[in-house]
Amino acid sequence: MRRLLLVLALAGILLLAGCAGTPGDWTPEPEVTPTPTPEPTPTETPTPSDEPGELPDGEFQIHHIDVGQADATLIITPDEETILIDTGDWRQDGQGVLEYLKAHEIDRIDHLVATHGHADHIGGHAAIIEHYETERDGIGAAYDNGVAHTSQTYENYLDAVEEHDVELLFVEDGDEIPIADGTVDAQVLNPPAGDSGSDLHENSIVLSITFGEVGYLTTGDAETKVESRLVEERADALAADVYHAGHHGSSTSSSESFLDTAEPSIAVISSAYDSQYGHPHDEVLERFADRGIETYWTGVHGDIVITTDGEEIAVETSEEFSTDPADLLAEKPNDDDGKLAPPPLGVSGPILEVRTA
């Protein structure tokens, strides 16, 4: 893991990021002019461990927060250590995520992860750093893929890191998130080690997190090129009971070979009900249906909370709807609809399902 003591060092990468072009599935923002600075100095990081075959004590929670056409995931370990992966869209400025964190009495973010620099993933980073560093118990460390973006949102994120002296760490394949709770293991599988270019999606942080016998895989906006590399080089680390679908359920991700290697029984899709990109794409829902993957979609299920004791998995949603991918496919708004209908919410109470990993 490469440690950055001065966040301004990241600004040097901004010049390279400007050559990467603009991906199709995100909302562009005004660009800013970066200032080059020296490269960071790499350092070693501690590795969490757990006895193999021994079930840990306590509960492990994964909260997929409904932030519309964006991503935000809160993880809470049995020792109440927290990992916040992405923070929603820039137009929300982290307010929805902050409200959720406040409702769940989260006083500290131990690990703040930016899977990549697009504004629908780091939109609330600056606001959350500001809030937790001034009004709560702070941010333990921030994690980045080391590929900068030339947006005002990314610049605001860096400014907040610098202003509040938050430790910024660049991660790559082979690193781990140093979780003090030794019952949880969080491996970084992407970006690839070494020079990996400047494409934000190809360098999206992929995490494989395990607690007891339960595995969780989250891939940010990583697409099929990344998935192919992981199948070839990291297949042993891909096994997952719960899979956070890549790129908001886009057909650019969740390839058949990737799904067949990971073999998830549960998938979670983070996208708006009326996604302007048609997420989740029909092909992805069909792949999930073909494999019998129970599917949750924030667009209809709202907030989705996975809880496990390391063996059994419980899923709770803020809104009730079918988890059959075929039903979700039928429910999706027609791309040709002149006016999209509201999602089928308003059903009384959450739905809770329990299974064994």
Q: What is the pLDDT of residue 1?
A: 55
Residue with tokens 């997190």, as numbered in its chain:
209
State yes or no: cis peptide before 280, omega within 30 of 0: yes
Q: What is the pLDDT of residue 29?
A: 52
Report d(CA 68, CA 73) in Å as an integer: 13
Report d(CA 200, CA 176) in Å as an integer: 20
Q: What is the pLDDT of residue 53?
A: 55
Domain coordinates of the chain in residue numbers?
A: 2-9+57-336+343-356
Question: Looking at domain 2-9+57-336+343-356, what is its CATH homologous superfamily?
Answer: Ribonuclease Z/Hydroxyacylglutathione hydrolase-like (3.60.15.10)
**Alpha helices, DSSP H, located in 194-281:** 224-233, 256-262
Report d(CA 49, CA 171) in Å as an integer: 19
Q: What is the mean pLDDT of each run of 10 residues along the chain (357 residues)?
A: 42 41 44 41 40 77 98 98 98 96 98 98 98 98 96 97 98 97 97 92 98 98 98 98 98 98 99 96 98 98 98 98 98 62 36 47
- pTM of this structure: 0.82
Torsion of CA 90, 94, 96, 102, to 10 degrees: 180
Burial class (CB in 10 A: 0-12, 13-18, 19+), 304: buried
Q: What is the pLDDT of residue 196?
A: 83
Report the b/e string of 69-87 with b at 16+ CB within 10 A.
Answer: bbbbbbbbbbeebbbbbbb
